[in-house]
Amino acid sequence: MSDDDIYIVGAGRTVFGRYDGEDNELAEQAVRSALADCGLSWKDVEFAVGGTNGETKPDNLVARLGLTGLPFVTVKNGCATGGVALMTARNGLLAERTDIACVVGYDNHARGAFNASPARYGIGDWYGATGMMVTTSYFALKIQRYLHEHGLGERTLGYAAEKAFEYAAAHPYAWRRKPVTVDEAMDADMINEPLTRFMFCSPDAGAVSLVLARGARAFDLCERPVRLASVALRGRRPGSFEVFSPWLSPGERTSPSIDAAAAAFASAGVSPSDVQVAQLQDTEAGAEIIHLAETGLVPHGAQEEAYRNGDLKVDGRLPINTDGGLLANGEPVGASGLRQVHEVVRQLQGRADGMQVPGDPRIGFTHVYGAPGISACTVLVSEGA
Query: Half-sphere exposure of residue 80, counting CA atoms within 13 Å on the CB side?
Result: 24
19: pLDDT strictly greater than 90 = yes
Q: What's the Cα-to-Cα distance from 337 to each of 22, 273, 341, 373, rounded to whole Å?
A: 20, 22, 7, 15
Rg of the chain (C-alpha set): 19
CB 313 within 8 A of CB 179: no
3-state secondary structure (DSSP) of residue 278: strand
3-state secondary structure (DSSP) of residue 353: coil
The pLDDT of residue 112 is 67
The residue-averaged pLDDT of 6-32 equals 95
CA distance 44 to 33: 14
Pairing label, strands 72-75, 47-51: parallel
Using 50, 70 and 90 to split pLDDT, how confident is the model at 129?
A: confident
Using 50, 70 and 90 to split pLDDT, how confident is the model at 278?
A: very high
The residue-averaged pLDDT of 234-245 equals 86
pLDDT tens, position by position, 210-229? 999 999 999 999 999 999 99
67: pLDDT strictly greater than 60 = yes
The pLDDT of residue 371 is 83
Using 50, 70 and 90 to split pLDDT, how confident is the model at 123?
A: confident
Query: DSSP alpha helices (H): ranges in the chain?
Result: 23-37, 62-65, 81-96, 125-129, 135-149, 155-169, 182-187, 217-221, 256-268, 285-294, 303-308, 325-329, 333-348
CB 157 within 8 A of CB 303: no
Calculate the average pLDDT of the chain.
93
The pLDDT of residue 138 is 85
385: pLDDT strictly greater than 60 = no
* 10, β-bridge pairs: 211
Domains of the chain: 6-111+204-214 (3.40.47.10)
Using 50, 70 and 90 to split pLDDT, how confident is the model at 131?
A: confident
Lowest-confidence pick of 135-144, 150-159, 346-355:
135-144
The residue-averaged pLDDT of 235-252 equals 81
DSSP string, 280-291: ---SBHHHHHHH
Share of the chain above pLDDT 70, in %: 98
The pLDDT of residue 330 is 94
Lowest-confidence pick of 93-102, 123-132, 255-264, 376-385:
123-132
Identity of residue 189: D
The pLDDT of residue 39 is 97
Q: What's the Cα-to-Cα distance from 39 to each of 135, 144, 305, 343, rounded to whole Å?
A: 41, 49, 45, 20
pTM over 0.85: yes
pLDDT tens, position by position, 184-209? 999 999 999 999 999 999 989 999 99
The pLDDT of residue 355 is 97
The residue-averaged pLDDT of 173-184 equals 97
Lowest-confidence pick of 8-17, 108-117, 238-247, 314-323:
108-117
